[in-house]
Chain A
Amino acid sequence: MQESAAFTPQLAASTITGILWLIPAAPMIASGLIALLKQPRRKLAASLAIGSLSISLLLSFVAFCHVVAGWARGSVVREFVNFTWFRYGSSTVDLGWVLDPLAAIMLVMVCFVGLLIFIYSVGYMAHDENFTRFFCFMSLFAGAMLGVVVSNSLLLLFMCWEIVGLTSYLLIGFWYQKPSAAAAAKKAFVTTRVGDIFFLLGIVWLFSQTGTLLFYNHGVGSLEPLALAVLLTQHAGLGLSAAGAIGLLIFAGAVGKSGQLPLHVWLPDAMEGPTPVSALIHAATMVAAGVFLVARVYPLMAAGVPTLANGGLNGTTTALTVVTWVGASTAVFAALIAIAQNDIKRILAYSTISQLGYMMAGLGLGGVAVGIFHLITHAFFKALLFLGAGSVIHGCHEEQNIRRMGGLRSDMPLTFVTYAIGMLALCGFPIFFSGFWSKDGILEAAQHWDISKGPFYLLVFGALLTAFYMTRQVCYVFFGHWRGHETAHESPRVMTVPLAILAFFAIALGVIGTPAWPWFHAFLENRAVKFDLHGFAEPGLLALMLTSSLIVFLGLGLGWWLYDNKSPEPEAPDALEKSAPLLWAPLRDRLYVDEIYGVTVIAFYAWWARVADWFDRRIWGGIVAAITWLFGLWAQFNRFLDVHWVDGGFDKTCEELSSGGGLLSRVEGGRVQNYLRILAAAVVALAAILLWSSRP
């Protein structure tokens, strides 16, 4: 589905858009202030962080209401403010921010979920000595993420994108004394960097072709029809136009950031960070930034969509096809691995990768609204699940292996209830849970995709797997009997209250996306909407809903049948492992992706590093040494010249003069007889001359 009807051209930015920049700025300023504080000032740090994010939330609400008001009036808002960053020659580089439905929704989601997680962190990180540093980084992250959302320039988005990556690195490696944490942080940074290289190439290409990096700029922005027309006229090979190629390059950045198939390896390792970090960054927001990016540049990727008229398929470009296939395969790949993991957070991490795949597939199959709806619902229930996992870990005294938990249903009831709600939402349990509606939207779009039914089957299989592994996890953690060491206890209120709030939204958000009242989709796509139960009467919709419900029940049932209250001992083999050991081993070993990378890319890189080192040491070092030696030689030669010729010459001259003087001074021996002799000899000579000359 595409966006229909052009947006109403903006006349003048409203007040809220004028101060929209405050939304990312407030947390960033708070971060700067916290950085100046000393470690013991915890209350102040937490207050600054929570306070700034609250301000951002308030402003986001105001912006959201403004956009809703505009939409309700029928004219949808897209307001932006651009400013010149610097000039070079006659061109300028502009930055700016934009307020449109997509941005408004994302702003509210990020601020709200972020705020809840900040409050949760006050309790979770209470025993950590680096409390202040934690909030500094978290605030910086929040500010940068909001900057990504609000940005109207691909360049500004990229800058905030990089800051987000930086804070992710800092927060994953928060407990940097642990070598595994430091390594995970480095892995995250390097892997996302690989994606970012392509992203940067896309930016450069876009700038070179359209001359601007602003998204919307009174008709001459890079996402506006004028620029898109220019890009469509150029072909980049492989059946792609320049627009599609640029879109795919940008998508590569999203692949890295959102953990899609080849570059997903950093996400599970990122669980080394504290649980609030996992919740905020690696579940709700940062990983969603990739999805948001694709949604933002959707016009680029969907440009030149062949309609049914020109012999095309049901409106899709090569770029979007690629996105779909990558998303669908990631969804299944990650879900498979999640089945065989034993770390509570790692299961959730793989689940996140899988759901991100769903989102990407949703974007490719059904457009911005479908994908973003799942993003919003996922943000809430995934954050809920992570925070719940954090509560479990906290209650089990930092135990993270699900084989060593069990029976927490009675020990941590509140956590259990909220966790169950999140789990059901994730599985897509029918009707009541938001996950059902958002996932169904994607499945529906997949069903109607004319190019191939492959993604549909993959996504359905993924749903089955999702239900299965979540049931397995819940059975291991909450059912059966306790297999740990000390007894578990419920978490404090500051941690359970956010859980409850998130659980509420995990249910309630479903309401705005049902086919009966597709408010969300209409809002994003600038359509009017009304509550109409006939929405359910679309052909094939009920059948699809039934099918997906059955799949979910099947998964839940399978999981329950294998695991329910059994609680095997930690060292005993898993139930699935017993029945299908050949399947189990590769799944448990994460399908060897890390190992493949280690053998290929990393080994190559290590070899290359050794070559470069040898080169540096031998060749460059050799050259430098040779030049030094030559200089030494030259210096020696100079010294030789100096000592022997210059000094020598000079000295010799002086010596000669001296000895000459010495010789001459012998005449003045002071010995009178010698003087006399000389006199007499002179007389003889003179007389002889005289006599000789006067001979006749």
Chain B
Amino acid sequence: MNVVFYLLAAITLAGGLAAVLLKHLVHCALATTVAFAGLALLFLQLDAQFAGFAQILVYIGAVAILIVFTILLTRGSELPKGGVFSRTWFVGLVIAAGVFAVLAWAVLESVRGIPQQTAVPAVTVHDIGNALVGRYVLPLEIVGLLLTAATIGAVIVAMHEKERRQ
């Protein structure tokens, strides 16, 4: 079990690292996809099958494609002149490191006190469906509204505005 975990973790992390370090945007997008995939497998390992497949469907199937489309529409294939990293990249790195440090510290400090289960939960899709329209029906409806708004909004924002074109 651990080996699988380490492997999946390594894939995910490697994909994430590649996503932020590579120069070509398209490569970054593909690396992100690898990271998403790694995460999905991690979800599967954690017995959250529905989440895992939802991850694959949504992230890899939609978000990653969106990213690639955007890269193409914004001429992301051209490399910027001043380098891909900002001039004050060190500051950002330090902050990120700080965040990781704090999180790691929190985790390591509190890990003893967390009650932990090791039994596999018996969760079916049927249960998830029931929960969605039962207990979590309000969030569901809101998310539906949200997705509608987001769709319309994205279309409007990205639309050509013919009148303003000269």
Contact = CB atoms under 8 A, between A and B. Distances in A.
A404 to B, nearest CB: 115
Interface stretch (A58-66, A77-85, A687-695): A687-695
B98 A677 contact: no
B95 A688 contact: no
Given A673-B86, A691-B109, A695-B109, A680 B102 contact: no
Given A691-B109, A695-B109, A677 B92 contact: yes
A684 B106 contact: no
Contacts of B103: 687
A657 interface: no
A684 B109 contact: no
B21 interface: no
Contact of A691 (B92, B96, B98, B102): B102
Contacts of A673: 86, 92
A683 B99 contact: yes
Interface string B75-103: 00000000000100001100110110111
B105 interface: yes
* Chain B interface main SS type: helix
A680 B109 contact: no
A120 B66 CA distance: 135
A677 B91 CA distance: 8
Interface in A653-687: 673, 677, 680-681, 683-684, 687
A64 to B, nearest CB: 121
Contacts of B102: 684, 687-688, 691
A681 B91 CA distance: 10
B98 A681 contact: yes
A481 to B, nearest CB: 125
Interface string A457-471: 000000000000000
Contacts of B92: 673, 677
Interface residues of A, number: 10
A677 B88 CA distance: 11
Contact of A681 (B86, B95, B105): B95
B91 to A, nearest CB: 6
A687 B105 CA distance: 10
A680 B106 contact: no
A680 B86 contact: no
B105 A680 contact: no
Interface residues of B, number: 13
A691 B105 CA distance: 9
B106 A687 contact: yes
A691 B108 CA distance: 11
B105 A684 contact: no
B95 A691 contact: no
Contacts of B105: 691
A684 B98 CA distance: 6
Contacts of B99: 680, 683-684
Given A691-B106, A695-B109, A684 B86 contact: no
Nearest to B98: A684
B112 to A, nearest CB: 10
A687 B101 CA distance: 10
A680 B98 CA distance: 9
Contacts of A688: 102
A153 to B, nearest CB: 108
A680 B95 CA distance: 7
Contacts of A687: 102-103, 106
B104 to A, nearest CB: 11
Contacts of B98: 680-681, 684
B159 to A, nearest CB: 23
A673 B96 CA distance: 13
A684 B99 CA distance: 5
A673 B85 CA distance: 12
A695 B102 CA distance: 13
B109 to A, nearest CB: 7
A677 to B, nearest CB: 6
Nearest to A671: B86
A677 B95 contact: yes
A403 to B, nearest CB: 117
A572 to B, nearest CB: 122
A688 B92 CA distance: 18
Contacts of A683: 99
A680 B103 CA distance: 12
B89 to A, nearest CB: 10
- Name which of A683, A684, A688, A691 has the most chain B CB atoms within 10 A of its CB: A684
Name, among B95, B99, B106, the residue most crowded by chain A CB atoms within 10 Å (CB to CB): B95
A687 B106 CA distance: 9
Contacts of B96: 680
Nearest to B94: A681
A691 B91 CA distance: 23
A683 B95 CA distance: 10
A683 B96 CA distance: 11
Interface in B91-136: 91-92, 95-96, 98-99, 101-103, 105-106, 109
Nearest to A682: B95
Nearest to B92: A677
Contacts of A677: 91-92, 95
B39 to A, nearest CB: 22
B102 to A, nearest CB: 5
A411 B86 CA distance: 132
B113 to A, nearest CB: 9
A695 to B, nearest CB: 7
B166 to A, nearest CB: 26
Contacts of A695: 109
Interface in A337-386: none
Interface string A246-286: 00000000000000000000000000000000000000000
A681 B88 CA distance: 15
Contacts of A681: 95, 98
A679 to B, nearest CB: 9
Nearest to A690: B106
A388 to B, nearest CB: 118
Nearest to A688: B102
A600 B99 CA distance: 113
B18 to A, nearest CB: 20
A683 B105 CA distance: 14
A464 B59 CA distance: 157
Contacts of B86: 673
B95 to A, nearest CB: 5
A432 to B, nearest CB: 135
Given A687-B102, A691-B106, 4 more contacts: A673-B86, A673-B92, A677-B91, A677-B92
21 contacts: A673-B86, A673-B92, A677-B91, A677-B92, A677-B95, A680-B96, A680-B98, A680-B99, A681-B98, A684-B95, A684-B99, A684-B101, A684-B102, A687-B102, A687-B103, A687-B106, A688-B102, A691-B105, A691-B106, A691-B109, A695-B109
Interface of B: 86, 91-92, 95-96, 98-99, 101-103, 105-106, 109
Shortest Cβ-Cβ A-B pairs, 5 listed = A684-B98, A687-B102, A680-B95, A681-B95, A684-B102
